[in-house]
Every structure is written in structure tokens, then in C-alpha cells.
Amino acid sequence: MSEKLFPWFQPVVDVASGRVVGYEALARMCDETGAVVSAAPLLKADSASAEERLHHDRALRWEALRLFAAQDRSDQTLALNLSPEWIDALDSFELLPTLEMIREAGVRPEQVIIEITEINGDLDRICQLAQCYRDAGVKVAFDDFGAGFQQLDRIIAFTPDIIKVDIRMFSPGRMTPQKRALLQMMGEMGARLGSKVVFEGVETEDEFFLALHCNASQIQGFMFSKARPDFAGPDTFKSQVADLLAMHLDLAIEETARRQWHAEGIHTELLALRGLILAGEQALSEHLAGYRPDPDILRFFICDRQGQQLSPNWQYDGNQWFGDSTVIGANRSWRPYFYQLVGASDYERRILRSSTYIDIESGRECYTLTLALDAKRVLLVDVADRAQSPRPMSALIACQSDLMPALS
């Protein structure tokens, strides 16, 4: 064991059960005052020779495995960080030092997670090494997903068992819709790749709630615990997680009810707008002159059942309606909310809602509502997606539902 460095352990908490399901081993050292601090600076390339850093790194991994094995936690995991620098330095994958350490420590391979950070080394070697670990029963994680987000092709090739997203990447400043959308896209990508998503760096209730809406199955961060010299008990944070989930459910139900009420108002207005259009088709601009829409209605337009746009984009600027005719002839048939409506057996009675997106023209989060205008035409209305409660979490709540068919 290095005289300077030693491992501490940060708990990883499962969202569904509230139990501590594992730990990440983090390098620590004592500063001049004797306080325990991160040893990351000592492990950087410019702080020591590669040989010294490799010695420190392997000594830390061995000590972490030894301490974990002494706890006999058969239902928990231990995550160990591995730099691509050491992967590139390996002469052969036939005898991997970490696998030898796992065997010597007496830890079952399926309890170990190897976190590979900064995937900027030789991708073929990284993929080959990952497969060697998997063949031995060890899981492989891609750490700091946000930091490598520009390397999506490499991430897909790597296909990790676990993707770790550091929420601190997006913490500076206000959580904008764009930041939130990127985080949610990362979580969605994890699900589509078949990877478990773990959010780290979580410190506040709002960050916890954000992680929930980004497909997080496990949480790691100061909200529960900093890295510590011992191992937290499995149920240490169970009541805290239960309280957080109960709070989230209460807030989500309240926001859903508010959004449902708002959506019903928008739907009523859409039916009124449909009647207005049908009554005044020969002079629509005149009929629209006295119509004041809900402030969240951004624009509307009309397509035929093949998706060809027949009308201008009609918008209200607060004083009057105006139409943008440059979009006439555009085809919208490939949008899911269009073909799902046209293909529905109850086409005349259904209102379909798109997923939320950022409107390019206004920069606002919005969605599109689609309903039949008549047997040959479709009315599409872009609506601003506005949280109904001031809580930051409210912007995360989706409110899409359909009525069950009436029982005969």
C-alpha cells in the first residue's frame, strides 16, 4: 500500500429500494494539516512519472478490494477507476492485474465494476479489454458520460454495462431547457443501449428529482454521503430515499393535476378554433380578427391527410394575426403525431400530442397538438409547454394521457 494514498468509499444508492447497492473507491491522501483530501492531483500525468502513478493506482485498487472483501458484502458492488493510460500500457490482455487482484482478494468478479474514464485511448484496445473483463464476470462502466458526450460513436462501440452521468457538468448557472434536454437524452440513450444509468454528483432535492426524470436507476453524491473510510450499512439511506420519493410523488401529482386542467382548457379552445376555421374558410383572416387565443398557443396550420401543408403558419403577436405563407407545401407526414392521428380508427374524435421539444423560432419548450379538421384535413397547433408550479421539478413533469374505452 502506498504510504501517501488510501481508498475511501462513496455509497451508491438504488432508487427503487433505497438500499446501498455498492461503493466507488476514491483516492484520498492527507494534506499538510492532516486533513483528508482528494488524491486526484497526485495521480495526474504532470505530477509524477507514469511508473509512480501506476504503482499508486494499483496499490489503491488492491487496498480497496482487500477492505471490501473483509466486509463480506455479497449483495453489493465495488467500482474501481481505470485510466485508458494503463490500458494502452498493457503488453497483453492474457494476464490482467485487476483480475488477479480480484482473485487474490477473494471478491466475486460479478461484484466488481471497472469504470473507464475519458475514452480517448485506442478504442479497439478498450473494447477488447472490456470484453475480457465481461468474460471474467466483471461489469464495465463508462464514467463521466457528459465529459465524453462528443464521442458518441466511441460510446456506442464500447457499449458499457453502466453509464455514469456527472450532474455537476450541468450545474453552473440556471438549469435551462437545453441543459435539461441533454441530460434527459443521456438517460434515454442509456436505456436504448441497454446500459444502467447512474447519476453522480447529486447534492440537492432538485438534482435528485432531475436524475429520476433522466432514467437514473442509482444515485451517488453528497446528498447521501461523501466518500468515507468505512462502508455504509445497506439501509442507511432507505428512509431518506422513501421521503424523497414520497415528496416527488406529491409534487408530481399536484403538477399533473394542474397540467391536466390547463390541457383541458387548451383542448376546449382547439375545438372552438376548429369551428371558427370551418365557419370562415373563405375569409379566415377576417374571422380570426376577433379571436384572442390562449397565450400558450404559438401558432396553427392545416395539412391534408397526406401531410402537405395547405395553409400559412398563423400566429398572433398580441394585437393581430398574421400568416407566414413560405411554409405552404411542406410535408409533415413523417411526424409521429401526424401519422398516428391519420391512422387512428377514431380519427374524428382524437387529439394527439407530440413529445416536448424546443421551438426554433421562439426558443420556448413546446408540443404540437393534432386533431381532425374534417375528413380530408388535419389541424396542427403548437403550444408552449409551461410548468404550472414554480418548483423547478415542475418543468420535468410530462402529462400525456388517453381515456380508457367505455365499458359495454
Tens digit of each residue's pLDDT (9 = 90 or more) over 150-195: 556 667 777 789 989 888 876 655 677 777 777 788 888 888 888 8
Q: What is the pTM of this model?
A: 0.85
129-147 tens-digit pLDDT: 888 999 999 999 987 665 5
Residues 6+ apart with CB under 8 A from 264: none
| CATH H-level superfamily of 6-229 | EAL domain (3.20.20.450)
What distance in Å separates the CA atoms of residue 44 and residue 385, rounded to the nearest whole number?
Answer: 45
Q: To the nearest whole percent, how much of the chain has pLDDT over 70?
A: 88
Tell me the pLDDT band of 235, cut-offs 50, 70 and 90: very high
Q: Position of cell 409547454?
A: 385
We find that the CATH architecture of domain 250-396 is: 2-Layer Sandwich (3.30)
Give the start-to-end residue ranges of the domains of the chain: 6-229, 250-396
254-310 tens-digit pLDDT: 888 888 888 889 999 999 899 989 987 777 878 788 888 989 999 999 999 999 999
> 25 is written with which cell numbers?
473507491
363-379 tens-digit pLDDT: 888 999 999 999 999 99
Q: What is the pLDDT of residue 177?
A: 76
Neighbour-count burial for 258-269, b at 16+ CB within 10 Å, e otherwise: bbeebbeebeeb
21-31 tens-digit pLDDT: 999 999 999 98
Same fold, 6-229 and 250-396: no
Q: What is the mean pLDDT of the chain?
A: 86
Query: Are the C-beta atoms of 386 and 395 separated by less than 8 Å?
Result: no
What distance in Å separates the CA atoms of residue 383 and residue 385, rounded to the nearest whole number?
Answer: 6
Greater confidence (309 vs 392) lies with 309
